A and B are shown apart, each in its own frame.
Chain A
Amino acid sequence: MSRGRGNIKDDLILNLKVVYARAYVRLKGLLREPHWSIAEVTIPLLSLCAYIYMYTMLDAPIEYMAFVIVGGAMLAFWSNVLWGVSAQLYWEKETGMLQHYMLSPASRLAVLLGMAAGGALNTTLRSISILLVGTLLFPVEYNLLDINALLIVFLLTITALYGMGMLFASLFLLYGREATHIADLLQEPIYLFSGIYYPVLSSQIFSQAVKLVASIIPLTFGIDAIRLLLIMGKGMEDVLLHIVGLSLLVAILLPSSYIALRKMEDVSKRHGRLTLRWQ
């Protein structure tokens, strides 16, 4: 029994080290090449400016400016999930690193969590920069009354989002060379349905069917709830449905990513090609 506990403890320590080590690689990369961060903050700000000018010309309600800035800040997470987590196993394979991971006793989920953790921390800094610069440039107003609800929603959104990224990571790898095309294919529909620059769930424009489809994207629930809490001055009771929705997504996406990872490893070992470069 004590041996079993010892093994569990050893495994836990090993996997925490792996999470930290993989996150370290991502953060070190950010520090070694900081010019990328400048580009990653500046370029989203340009699209954000375009939407704000358009809303201003159309005399849209003033809170739409804040909607756009919050959407722009959250978009950084989606981009990171898509390119920094979903496509990551594929890149690891292409650079020849995937075999090192498969060979080690580390849990594959710990490796993905490390990628996600490094990416999330890195992206949080980017997202805060977008929020701060956007707020300084434009006359936006925030009305936050329930910070606890905001934190809960934000954490659930990020967990669900990175869970989705981890699920896609294995799927992208199984689809082989087409990872970049799949990422490209996913990018625009997500922009459309998740309501990055406009409200979707509380809008009258979209049908219930579209809203239902949009709800499977964690970003849709997350952005909507964050806007309600941060801009519209709403409280926990107003975002309960969002919290339930996001919790369900977390409950589905995290186990699914684990199952997909097992499946990916199984396919890899059966065919012997998945960890090889250029295959």
Chain B
Amino acid sequence: MYAVETIELSRVFELKGKSILALDDVNIRIGKGEILGLLGANGAGKTTLVKILSTLLLPSKGSSYIHGHDVVKEAKQVRRIINLVSGGETPGYGMLTVRENLWFFSQLYGLSSSTARERIEMLIRDMELEQYRDVRMHRLSTGYKQRLNLARGFINDPKVLFLDEPTLGLDVINAKHMRKYIREWVNADKTRTILLTTHYLAEAEEVCDKIAIIYKGRIVAYESPSALKSSLSNGVSINVEIFSDPTAIASRNSMVEKISRSSGVLACMLEPSGSDNGYHDYMVKHEGGSYSNGRYDGSISSDGLTRVRIILDDDSKIPDLVSTLVLNGYKVLSVRKDQPTLEDVYMRYIGMREG
């Protein structure tokens, strides 16, 4: 029996007379003791899937099971063994203290007084909330509110925990603390399972046993991070440092396009400058030979250089690529061959689907 299983799960939303397919025949199986990372852009269907599995939304088609319980027909049994934590959500009543809020949530799951007391103390300790134990929730900072929110998710010691972008808006230290705790929690009891949705590829790579990439409601890849990376074994990832004006959008777009149209380039990602609000520009070549471009979230580097990550189908194409750049007037400062990252995998799969 799987901890989580979905069979041809689909969901259609009706919006202003139009049908929007949010999930399209999704089949996933998560074993006990696993952390599955669900990666996808905004609107890809991550939250819809989590909402169906956590009994908050009905599917339009297909079935899903949590520890063998039908999510639709046995919602009550499912609710006893799951919990859901979403990034940025309200972790309780502002007027109640941290301890009182956790007690309140423990009662929603019918915990006995002694179990509730023990678990609340443990979670307060684990989430490093000791000094805020008797502080009212509305006085907590965003990071500590999210720690309380995460503690809420563990209050019923769920068998399956859904984490929907749990580190959204958190600083590096809080996010790291949260990731560490998630991993340790599953390792401590191999009957526990987590489904984690995230935008952050590094986060998925750090904590997840398996990764599913969801694109326009379909699961387009479903493997361990290492298997996903080795699926790019035919390709090669290179990092190129180019001296150009990093703030000129037209110039940057033109650079991405020129690189992408070079022989052997499968995808091209431009690291952002300080003025880009953390977005990466990218361009992907599809199997049919067409191209698509867009932007996605990422970290910012601001040392004035433009760094481009390129996936080539063959490393013999590197000299041709460098020549193309030089002929187009770009100063190539360095070219470094690299191991494929999850980011490369993500770009490649999204690109293939758009093709």
Contacts and interface: CB of A to CB of B under 8 A. Distances in A.
A105 B107 CA distance: 10
B249 to A, nearest CB: 33
Contact of A103 (B13, B58, B83, B96): B83
Interface stretch (B48-56, B185-193, B307-315): B48-56
B110 A17 contact: yes
B96 A105 contact: no
Contacts, number: 72
A104 interface: yes
Given A103-B79, A272-B13, A25 B107 contact: no
Interface residues of B, number: 29
Interface string B341-353: 0000000000000
Interface size classification for chain A: 20 to 34
Contact of B108 (A10, A13, A100, A272): A100
A97 B89 CA distance: 9
B80 interface: yes
Contact of A104 (B48, B58, B79, B89): B79
A269 B76 CA distance: 14
Nearest to B162: A103
A99 B56 contact: yes
Interface in A96-144: 96-97, 99-106
B100 interface: yes
The secondary-structure label for the interface of chain B is mixed
A103 B84 contact: yes
A21 to B, nearest CB: 4
Contacts of A33: 95
Contact of B95 (A17, A18, A28, A99): A28
A270 interface: yes
Interface in B84-130: 84, 89-90, 92-93, 95-96, 100, 103-105, 107-110
B110 A14 contact: yes
A17 B90 contact: no
A187 interface: no
Nearest to A114: B107
B95 A105 contact: no
Contacts of A102: 55-56
B227 interface: no
A272 B103 CA distance: 28
A101 B54 CA distance: 12
A198 interface: no
Nearest to A15: B110
B89 A101 contact: no
Given A104-B79, A269-B56, A17 B107 contact: yes
A189 to B, nearest CB: 32
A105 B105 contact: no
A9 to B, nearest CB: 11
B1 interface: no
B202 interface: no
29 contacts: A10-B110, A14-B110, A17-B110, A18-B110, A20-B107, A21-B107, A24-B104, A25-B104, A28-B100, A29-B95, A33-B95, A95-B90, A96-B90, A97-B90, A97-B93, A99-B84, A100-B105, A101-B108, A103-B55, A103-B82, A103-B83, A104-B108, A104-B109, A105-B76, A105-B79, A105-B110, A269-B58, A272-B13, A272-B57
Interface of A: 10, 13-14, 17-18, 20-21, 24-25, 28-29, 32-33, 95-97, 99-106, 268-270, 272, 275
